[in-house]
């Protein structure tokens, strides 16, 4: 029997954490998935105690402060989770000589490009959430050279709160929803992100020379938030679930505390070339999730 390989996954109760728990890991891998209550990544003594207790072979940091609008006022909390936490994990993993895989966001960009962003493009976050995640990226990359920062975007899943579930909830009690149609991005299934993280983590554990650095991973294709809502409702209607008409509006018609990028499409060429990770169309992720949610509803 191979020795067990222990992998720490922070944010175990989040969308990506829950899909990492469900992913097909080799038998000898033991995942440790603490919730925020069990491990606050910004708590230096909690991080040190956990590393002293378990000989981890890798860490995936999927825990984060993800409330984009609330972050504008809860600045200290956002930076604690998204910048201080990654810095502590970078230090702990560097000392242990193990890889760290950090999940980051398209909101590090300001959206002024007229094409999908590549990893070498300049960053310039528009809000506190993006700025805190960028600080986390920099802490990881400077703190542990054996690290990957995986930027993803517009995460959807059957778990927790996300835009897809918000749309289905709204459609349950109104015939029409108003949704911005001038912000362009790449909806991405949390299960697809988990699969990409699994591939990267296993390769980094097996090969000290595995490629490190910055990578973009999203599902294939792009749309607007209104386009995503329309796809969700088309699939939901097909399954006999809630559906609503979508009125496409402008960003100015839907004021929010945090500004979002008008274009946050990401190019996935680098991860395809270095890690052989291929992206499924975003519409496939939508139909998987809507189907799973409707089965859940039927079995209630
Ligand atoms: N959601 C999205 O649309 C996108 C997310 N990302 C990134 O992907 C990653 C995963 O996000 P996702 O799973 O969607 O997010 P979720 O909000 O679903 O989950 C995040 C998890 O992190 C936990 N958490 C918050 N603060 C801390 C902390 N200080 N220490 C430990 N855990 C903490 C949360 O705890 P609690 O359960 O208590 O809330 C939650 O369980 C994050 O890095 C995020 O920035 C990138 C692009 C898009
Ligand atoms: C609920 C709703 C939102 N919107 C708009 C507001 C906003 O511009 C856009 C998306 O709204 P949300 O607030 O749900 O999504 P938001 O929190 O901005 O999602 C982001 O989360 C973080 C964590 C990321 O890292 C990003 O990649 C991205 O997924 O849709 C409408 O136009 N109509 C609506 O009814």
Give the tens place of pLDDT for each residue, 26-49: 999 999 999 999 999 999 999 999
Tokens matching residue 261: 């990028």
**pLDDT at 2 > cutoff 80:** no
In this structure, of 1-10, 208-217, 257-266, the range with the lowest mean pLDDT score is 1-10
Residue nearest to atom 16 of ligand 1 (CA): 14
Tokens matching residue 55: 């000989």
Q: What is the mean pLDDT of residues 203-224?
A: 97
Bridge partner residues of 6 (DSSP): 30, 56
Cα–Cα distance, 162 to 187 (Å, whole number): 11
Q: Residue 3's pLDDT is what?
A: 85
**pLDDT at 298 > cutoff 70:** no
Q: pLDDT per residue over 268-288, tens digit each?
A: 999 999 999 999 999 999 999
Q: Residue 208's pLDDT is what?
A: 94
**pLDDT at 1 > cutoff 80:** no
Contact 281, 223 (CB under 8 A): no
Q: pLDDT per residue over 215-252, tens digit each?
A: 999 999 999 999 999 999 999 999 999 999 999 999 99
How far is ligand 2, taken at its centre, from the CA of residue 254, in Å? 11
How far is ligand 1, taken at its centre, from the CA of residue 188, in Å? 15
Domains of the chain, CATH where assigned: 5-160+186-221+259-280 (3.40.50.720)
Q: Which ligand is nearest to the CA of 176?
A: 2
How far is ligand 2, taken at its centre, from the CA of residue 86, in Å? 24
**pLDDT at 52 > cutoff 90:** yes
Residues with a known catalytic role: 129
Q: Which ligand is nearest to the CA of 217?
A: 1
Q: Is the CB of 40 under 6 A from ligand 2?
A: no
**Ligand 2 pocket mutation pick from 104, 129, 180 by most atoms within 8 angstroms of CB:** 180
Cα–Cα distance, 266 to 153 (Å, whole number): 8
**Ligand 1 pocket mutation pick from 13, 23, 38, 63 by most atoms within 8 angstroms of CB:** 63
Instruction: For residue 226, give the ligand 2 atom closest to its CA.
Output: 32
Q: Is the CB of 177 under 6 A from ligand 2?
A: yes
Q: Is the CB of 147 under 6 A from ligand 1?
A: no
Q: pLDDT per residue over 120-134, tens digit each?
A: 999 999 999 999 999
Mean confidence (pLDDT) of the chain? 96
Element holding 150 (H helix, E strand): strand 147-152
**pLDDT at 300 > cutoff 90:** no
Q: Residue 196's pLDDT is what?
A: 98
Q: What is the mean pLDDT of residues 143-155?
A: 98
Residue nearest to atom 38 of ligand 1 (CA): 36
Q: Residue 295's pLDDT is what?
A: 83
pTM: 0.97
Q: Is the CB of 15 under 6 A from ligand 1?
A: yes
Interface confidence, given as ipTM, is 0.98
For the chain, helix (H) and strand (E) counts, in that order, are 10, 12
Greater confidence, 296 or 93? 93
DSSP 4-71: PEEEEEESTTSHHHHHHHHS---TTEEEE---TTT--TT-HHHHHHHHHH--EEEEEE------TTGG
Cα–Cα distance, 202 to 159 (Å, whole number): 25
Q: Is the CB of 144 under 6 A from ligand 1?
A: no
Report percent pLDDT > 90 for the chain.
97
């Amino acid at each position: 029997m191979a020795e067990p390989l222990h992998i720490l996954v922070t944010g175990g109760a989040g969308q990506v954490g829950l899909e990492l728990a469900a992913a097909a890991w080799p038998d000898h891998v033991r995942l440790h998935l603490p919730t925020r209550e069990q491990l606050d990544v910004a708590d230096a003594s909690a991080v040190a105690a956990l590393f002293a207790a378990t000989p981890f072979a890798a860490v995936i940091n999927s825990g984060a402060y993800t409330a984009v609008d609330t972050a504008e006022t809860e600045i200290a909390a956002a930076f604690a989770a998204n910048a201080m936490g990654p810095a502590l994990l970078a230090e702990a993993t560097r000392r242990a000589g193990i890889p760290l895989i950090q999940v980051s966001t398209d909101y590090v960009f300001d959206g002024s490009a007229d094409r999908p962003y590549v990893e070498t493009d300049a960053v310039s976050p528009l809000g506190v959430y993006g700025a805190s995640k960028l600080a986390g990226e920099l802490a990881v990359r400077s703190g542990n050279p054996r690290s990957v920062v995986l930027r993803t975007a517009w995460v959807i899943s059957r778990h927790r709160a996300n835009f897809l579930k918000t749309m289905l909830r709204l459609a349950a009690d109104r015939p029409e929803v108003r949704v911005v149609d001038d912000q362009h991005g790449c909806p991405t299934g949390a299960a697809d992100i988990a699969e990409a993280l699994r591939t990267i983590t296993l390769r980094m554990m097996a090969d000290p020379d595995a490629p490190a650095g910055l990578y973009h991973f999203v599902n294939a294709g792009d749309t607007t938030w209104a386009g995503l809502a329309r796809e969700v409702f088309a699939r939901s209607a097909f399954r006999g679930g809630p559906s609503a008409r979508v009125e496409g509006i402008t960003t100015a018609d839907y004021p929010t505390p945090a500004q979002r990028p008008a274009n946050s499409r990401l190019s996935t060429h680098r991860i395809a070339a270095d890690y052989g990770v291929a992206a499924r169309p975003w519409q496939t992720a939508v139909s998987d999730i809507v189907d799973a949610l409707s089965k859940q509803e039927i079995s209630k």
